[in-house]
Chains A and B, each alone.
Chain A
Amino acid sequence: MAPQVFVYVAHRGGQAADPALELLSAARVLSPNGPVIAVAAGHGAGLDQVCRDMAGRCLEVWKLSNEALAYPNAEAIRKCVTGVLPSGAVLLLAHDTLGMDLGPGLSIKLDSPFVSDVVAMDPPQDGVLKLVREEYGGQVSTHLSCDISGGAVLSIRSGAFPASEETAVGEVRDKSPDIGDLSCGRRFIKIVGAEAGDVDITKEEILVSVGRGIEDEDNIEIAEDLAKALGGVVSCSRPIVDAKWLEKPRQVGTSGKTVKPKVYLALGISGSFQHLGGLKGNPFIVAVNKNPKAPIFQVADVGVVDDLLEFVPLLTEIIDNH
């Protein structure tokens, strides 16, 4: 029997977040012909809008409306979802900052197994699902098996499944009366926007981006020299900001800036999905990395397998001498 599959739809400003349609595709792997139910929690007109939109995509939408859900506080959502899902449910959610907050604890409360950051899966056989995840920043992958016969919580990598193109004439079911007490020990106060920096890397056409492979703060100069020679600016991966070698507004990635340059030089960057998540607009990517197996080479157009500390100064010198 196909499991009963639910997808959790995150939303903002009355719009479902991008992964919602990808989650629907992933759900189709689990339930090729059966119903897939979208679950949306929130409060007010925005939630109603999202539910109506999702009803154009799947046959059933469960609306969970409560004042305590006006902001997506994972603690409250977890309580509310645990209260309404039937036992044996398989719930899919996005592996993003809300999914990471919500998913693991939810699996415990539902007494279901949990697999995070799923990049691929085969249709279940005899209640067992075979999935693919990555480890070590994408350097290797693993196959996993997960017994979903008693339900499961799965978080899905953004971009791993195509956006569903299915349409439906679905029904919104208001499950709000089933929600119990949502008071919890964590209360949302406010959002503080990201700081602005001296340069706006989101507007640059040429980015010379450095990662942990730059090895030392003093070596950032090597990237600055190349950027100058090319008429671009320096951006970076997260560890460079964590080490305080460059300012946060220079960080490319899901927790940094989304950039859309024409050319992106990745120097000593391994190519984690959180980093690549900030790279849009299909730029021409040049990767310089001393590890020929670094995942960045799978997405780059041109690769140089070398020590960047040796190669980049030479490259700059040749360009400058032209």
Chain B
Amino acid sequence: MEILVCVKKVPDPAENEIAVRRDGSDIDRDDLVYSVNEWDNYAVEEAIQLVEEHGGSVTVVSVGDEESDEIIRRELAMGADAGKLLDDEAFHYSDGRGVAAILAHAARQAQYDLILTGAQAEDAAAQVGGMLAAMLDLPYASLVVRVEVKEGDKLEIAREIDGGNLEINEIDLPCALSIQTGINEPRYVGIRGIRKTASVEVPVLGAAELGLDPGTVGRAGAKVRKLDYFVPELGQGAEILQGSREEIADQLIARLRGRGVIQ
């Protein structure tokens, strides 16, 4: 099975407190620690496991900048066979549809049986997977937590719906799926493994190489534009307890006692 997995570089939410720049133009990107979007890492692991069992190859692709090379190499170290970086000045400030269009052009350059995306990106909108599928006219399912290959070029998949219930579907190949966290246990890769991929060539493709009209993507093509970032003030917020650790613990116990939680 030939599998394409779309991966994005995002600020790692576990490593960063996200703050807004004073002028609201962006989040404060100084000292941010970036990583591969959590959902995408599960998607790559799923692809690798499918290929381990059924043969084929895994290609990872990212629309990003030079620094996205790093996350592509991380996924190569996990076991992906090839990587492509889609980078062009014309791609900057693309909306979700623009990103999907760029990815669609890359997807058309080869014959993939399966295209995987994450269900959503930390900094975005849970939209690129479904858009990409629609652009390519592929059957699509979101929030997938199980994939099984069936006879006759089909998959049986489980989608996670409300309350942890699973919706079981059959879907024809080729198709596109967006992957939900928890579908597998992504393997660990260390710095050493990533260094070993240094010699692998990761081609950088721009609008010309993809045969893409630059006016349809990037800022020029965007119908949805980000105006500014801000931190909302919602309601009163919590009463933040102050004092030494012991004093705070005592105050909290008093509050819990007031609620009858502690006798």
Contact yes or no, A314 B245, CB < 8 A:
yes
In the complex, are the beta carbons of B261 and A230 less than 8 A apart? yes
- Distance in angstroms from A270 CB to nearest chain B CB is 8
A97 to B130, CA, bound (A): 13
- Whole-angstrom CA separation of A195 from B165 in the bound complex: 8
Chain B's interface size range is: 35 or more
**Is A305's beta carbon under 8 Å from chain B?**
yes
Assembly CA distance A268 to B181 (angstroms):
19
B74 within 8 A of A: no
Question: What residues on A are CB-neighbors of B122 within 8 Å?
Answer: 135-137
B103-140 vs A, CB cutoff 8 Å, 1 = contact: the mask equals 00000000000000001001111111111011100111
Is chain A's interface secondary structure helix, strand, loop, or mixed overall? Answer: mixed
B residues 181-238 touching A (CB-CB < 8 Å):
181-182, 185, 223-232, 234-235, 237-238
Report if B158 contacts A (CB, 8 A).
Answer: yes
Please measure, in the bound complex, the distance between the C-alpha atom of A201 and the C-alpha atom of B124, giving whole angstroms: 31
Contact A292 B240 (CB under 8 A): yes
Docked complex Cα distance between A215 and B143 (Å) = 25
Known contacts A140-B18, A194-B163, A314-B246: A146-B13 contact under CB 8 Å: no
Residue of B nearest to A101 (CB): B142
State whether the Cβ of B175 lies closer than 8 Å to any Cβ in chain A.
yes
B residues in contact with A108, CB < 8 Å: 97, 100, 130-131, 134-135
Residue contact A230 to B256, C-beta cutoff 8 Å: yes
Chain B min CB distance to A153 (Å)? 10
Contact A206 B239 (CB under 8 A): no
CA distance A212 to B122 in the complex (A): 15
Do most interface residues of chain B lie in helix, strand or loop, or is the interface mixed? mixed
Contact B165 A194 (CB under 8 A): yes
Binds B, one of A1-9, A20-28, A32-40, A239-247: A239-247
The distance in angstroms between the C-alpha atoms of A136 and B122, with both chains bound, is 5
Contact pick for B19, options A73, A98, A249, A293, CB 8 Å: A293
Residues of B within 8 A of A322 (CB): 253, 262
- Smallest beta-carbon distance A250→chain B, Å: 11
The reply to whether A187 and B169 contact each other, CB–CB distance below 8 Å, is: yes
Contact of A302 among B18, B175, B238 (CB under 8 A): B238
Contact, CB under 8 Å: B181 / A293: no
Asked if A146 contacts B123 (CB within 8 A), the reply is no
* Residues from 53 to 100 in A contacting B, C-beta threshold 8 Å: 73-75, 78, 96-98, 100
Query: B58-73: which residues lie under 8 A (CB-CB) from chain A?
Result: none
- Please, how many angstroms separate the alpha-carbon atoms of A184 and B138 in the complex? 10
Residue of A105, A186, A257 touching B169 (CB-CB under 8 A): A186
Select which of A139, A212, A306, A311 is within 8 A of B18 by beta carbon: A139
Cβ–Cβ contact A140 & B234, under 8 A: no
B87 contacts chain A at the CB level, 8 A cutoff: no
- A103 sits at the interface (CB 8 A): yes
A229 CA / B101 CA spacing, docked (Å): 55
A12 to B: closest C-beta gap in Å: 10
Taking the complex as formed, is B162 at the interface, i.e. its CB lies under 8 A from any CB of chain A? yes
- Tell me the B245-259 residues at the A interface (CB within 8 Å): 245-246, 248-250, 252-253, 255-256, 259
Contact A113 B168 (CB under 8 A): no
Q: Is there contact, CB below 8 Å, between B130 and A103?
A: yes
For the complex of A and B, list the 5 residue pairs with the smallest distance between their C-beta atoms, beginning with the closest: A104-B130, A185-B139, A303-B238, A105-B134, A194-B164
Given contacts A303-B241, A306-B248, 5 further A-B contacts (CB under 8 A): A117-B126, A140-B229, A145-B227, A186-B140, A302-B238
18 example contacts (A-B, Cβ-Cβ < 8 A) are as follows A73-B169, A96-B162, A97-B160, A98-B161, A100-B130, A104-B127, A105-B140, A107-B127, A108-B130, A115-B125, A136-B27, A141-B229, A142-B227, A186-B175, A230-B262, A238-B181, A251-B164, A302-B252
B positions within 8 Å CB-CB of A: 11, 13-14, 17-20, 27, 95-97, 100, 119, 122-131, 133-135, 138-143, 156, 158-172, 175, 181-182, 185, 223-232, 234-235, 237-241, 245-246, 248-250, 252-253, 255-256, 259, 261-262
